[in-house]
Amino acid sequence: MDKGHFYYINDQYFVDFPDIYLMQNKETVNGKVHDRPCFYAFKDANTGLFWMIPFSSQVSKYRGYYNAKIQKYKRCDTITFGEVLGHEKAFLIQNMCPIMPQYIKNEYIDSQAGVPVRINGIFERELIEKAKRVLALQRKGVKLIFPNVLDIEAKLLNK
């Protein structure tokens, strides 16, 4: 596993860490086999675990949530927007989760170029900064991430 790359999580993760708020695998979409959701990976230097941030193509749906949070709180670090393969996506920090490499199914590869999918470096720094800020607040008891990620993290660290 490499930080800054995109991955798909295997089904065993959801068996080992059942949480209704985790974004579950949806391998069949409209009758076609299709890996999703896809997750952006960054590493927590303190624990050695990777954290996975799902992204969605439902930009208008999440832009509505984002705008509502901006109106109410004057800031939103739980959802952000960036490009993946030239298309705008919503990155859902509010749905991120910790993981170990053994739970990775495969990497997201650009089928045109045959290389791992990456994001712009400026956006990548912003995404990681927001994710770390949200995680720090979660650790202080501010509930910003939907799944019980601190429980999952503790179980992973005890493996």
In SS3 terms, 72-106 reads as HHCCCCCEEEEEECCEEEEEEHHHCEEECHHHEEE
The model's pLDDT over 92-144, given as tens digits with 9 standing for 90+, comes to: 999 999 999 999 999 999 999 999 999 999 999 999 999 999 999 999 999 99
Q: Quick check: 51 and 135 in contact, CB under 8 A? A: yes
Domains and their CATH numbers in the chain? 6-157 (3.10.129.130)
C-alpha 38/C-alpha 43 separation (Å) is 16
- The pTM for the full model equals 0.92
Residue 159: pLDDT band with limits 50, 70, 90: confident
The model's pLDDT over 54-73, given as tens digits with 9 standing for 90+, comes to: 999 999 999 999 999 999 99
What pLDDT shows up at residue 103?
Answer: 97
